[in-house]
Structure formats: structure tokens, C-alpha cells
Amino acid sequence: MKILVAVKRVIDYNVQIRVKEDGSGVNTDNVKMSTNPPDDNAIEEAVKLKESGKAKEIIAVTIGGEKAQETLRKALAVGADRAIHVKSDNYIEPLGIAKILKKIVEKEKPDLVFLGKQAIDDDCNQTGQMLAGLLSWPQGTFVSKILHKDNAIEVTRETDEGLETIEINLPAIITCDLRLNEPRFSSLPNIMKAKKKPVEQLNAKDLGVDIANRIQQIKVEEPPKRKGGIKVSSVAELVSKLKNEAKVI
């Protein structure tokens, strides 16, 4: 079985996000970047399947500028066999990303495609679903448990109502939840070995897909600061304020 894992380079989740003064976007100058956290879970699950003998090859793919290769090298150090870097210096919306990934899938013909359930920068949670639609493949989203069978895969999904277990035929799209596993740290020897693993480079504009953005970003601004709380002297006063001031009851 061949597994394709899509990874994304984002601002590290520990960094305090700052909006540019002109409101044109988020400041990324001299900011620590890292792999999107749910994508780490996707890589880990692919490696676990390979270690169990159920997968033979893992291919990591990312779309972005030159520095996006750092994300691929991390995936290679963790256990991916090779990588594909689709170069693009401009922001591409989830639909454009899904179209590019569709081209990669048609070329590589994987049995499984793993993605993080969503990216922590735009929080869109769309790429995996769009890719499944473009390919007409079955999908399992928000997956927190995977059980591989002969020609199918059983997944447990996180939903608003609780857990849902479904069985889907291969090939399939899987978007991974943070509860799926505990991503491993790459060792120094594996980091050094990763530098010798092949990274294929493609240009997004050469793939023959329409990646024009459909949404225009007008302005980015920080959320308003929350007002401090108040103390009430009784339950009756609390109910009165919730009813007459907050108007939530």
C-alpha cells in the first residue's frame, strides 16, 4: 500500500499572532514556523502503518515557497520515503490546493491520502473534503482511530454528537484529528539521513490547473479585547443581569 501525506508550513502554535499595522494580513517576518499540528498526526499514522507492514511507501507533499521544504525534511526525518514540493510563492485557497493534490494523486496513484483535519492558520477545514469530491473517493474526516482491513479501512470519527465508526473502501481520503496518535520526535541521525532522501520539485503553474483565488481578503484585524468580569452578590442579581443586560436568557 502506498500512502500520500499532505503537510503544510504554518506559524508555530506557540507564537503570539500579530496583525500587520496596515491590516493587510498577519506578520510572518522572523516568526517561528512549524508543521501544522494535525499534519504531524497524519505523518505519524502513515509511519505506524508502514512499521506494521501494511504500507510500503510514504510520500510527503507540500505546496508553498522555498522554505516549505523544511516541513518536508521533517516528514522525511520521521519516516517518509520521499517528498514532493510544489512551488508557489503566492497564497492558494483550499480549492486550488485540492486541485494540485488531485494532480499528484493521479500521478502517484496512492491507496490512502492523509491530511490534517484543518490548518491552524486559516482554519478552513476544507481541503480533504474538496479533494475527495474532485477524485470521487470515499472519505473519513476528523479521524481519531484507524483500523486497516484487506481492501477497506475502518475509522472512528469525532463528531458533535460523539464518536462515529464507519468502514470505507480503498482508495480513500483521511483527515486526521489530534487524538489519533502522539507524533514522535525525529532523532538527529534520522534528520541527517533525511537530507539524502529525494525531494521532487514541481511548479504549481505548470500543472495545468486553475488555482486562481475566488475570495478577496479585504482586511485583517485583531478581535476586540474582552472586558473584565464583575462580581455579583446573589443568584437573583446574576439572573437579572443575564436577562436584562446580557439578554441571554
What are 42-60's pLDDT values in tens digits?
999 999 999 999 999 999 9
Average pLDDT (17-40) is 89
User: How far is residue 89's CA from residue 220's CA, in Å, rounded to a whole number?
Assistant: 20
Q: 7, 88, 10, 9: which is closest to 45 by C-alpha?
A: 7
CB 92 within 8 Å of CB 214: no
* Confidence bin at 225 (pLDDT 50/70/90): confident
Classified as helix, coil or strand, 40 is helix
Mean pLDDT of the residues in the chain: 92
Give yes or no for residue 6 having a pLDDT over 90: yes
Give yes or no for residue 149 having a pLDDT over 90: no
**pTM of the predicted protein model:** 0.84
Q: 186, 184, 147: which is closest to 168 by C-alpha?
A: 147
String of b and e for 192-218 (b: at least 16 CB within 10 Å)? eebeebebeebebeeeebebeeeeeee
CB 176 within 8 Å of CB 125: no
Element (H, E) at 192: helix 188-194
Higher pLDDT, 206 or 228: 206
Q: 62, 58, 63, 64: which is closest to 77 by C-alpha?
A: 58
Give yes or no for residue 64 having a pLDDT over 90: yes
Between the alpha carbon of residue 66 and those of residues 7, 149, 213, the distances in Å are: 14, 38, 21
Give yes or no for residue 223 having a pLDDT over 90: no
User: How far is residue 16's CA from residue 160's CA, in Å, rounded to a whole number?
Assistant: 29
Between the alpha carbon of residue 51 and those of residues 45, 58, 83, 249, the distances in Å are: 10, 11, 18, 54
164-183, pLDDT tens digit by residue? 999 999 999 999 999 999 99
* Sequence-separated (6 or more) residues with CB below 8 Å from residue 171: 110, 111, 112, 113, 137
Classified as helix, coil or strand, 101 is helix
And the C-alpha cell for 38?
Answer: 494535525
Domains in the chain with CATH codes: 2-244 (3.40.50.620)
* Confidence bin at 139 (pLDDT 50/70/90): very high
And the C-alpha cell for 70?
Answer: 523544511
Q: What is the pLDDT of residue 29?
A: 85
